[in-house]
Amino acid sequence: MGILKIIAAVVTILIGVLSLLLPTQIKGFTGLDVAGNPRGITEVRAILGAFFIGLGLAPLIWRSQSESMYLMLGFTYLVVAGVRVISMFLDKSVMQSNIISAVSEIILGVILVLPS
């Protein structure tokens, strides 16, 4: 389980790095079109980029506290998945990309909250 948690943290970091470096090319991944919108590009870099990088790096850097940090990261993924599922119905956005995202978030969340 420990290796799966490391992989989940690395996946989180990679999502952040891609968002940080390629903010205008994440439309297919997120549905957000920020091309030509400097404020939107900054938001993608800051929230989907830096925030995800920080969340993924924390348990890898502070190894002595990694279990509680993995738990926090997993809880975050599960909350995001819960809000996404509710929003999919409220916003009438039940579509393949949202379903894939929700399933991915649930899988990562469960992996991260289970004891090692």
Residues 6 or more apart in contact with residue 78 via CB below 8 angstroms: 105, 106, 109, 110, 113
Tell me the pLDDT band of 5, cut-offs 50, 70 and 90.
very high
Task: State yes or no: pLDDT of 29 exceeds 90.
Answer: no
Q: Percent of the chain, pLDDT > 70?
A: 100
pLDDT digits (tens, 9 = 90+) for 37-94: 999 999 999 999 999 999 999 999 999 999 999 999 999 999 999 999 999 999 999 9
Count Cβ atoms within 10 A of the Cβ of residue 89 and give its class: 0-12 exposed, 13-18 middle, 19 or more buried: exposed
Domain segments of the chain as ranges: 2-113
Residues 6 or more apart in contact with residue 72 via CB below 8 angstroms: none
Prediction pTM value: 0.91
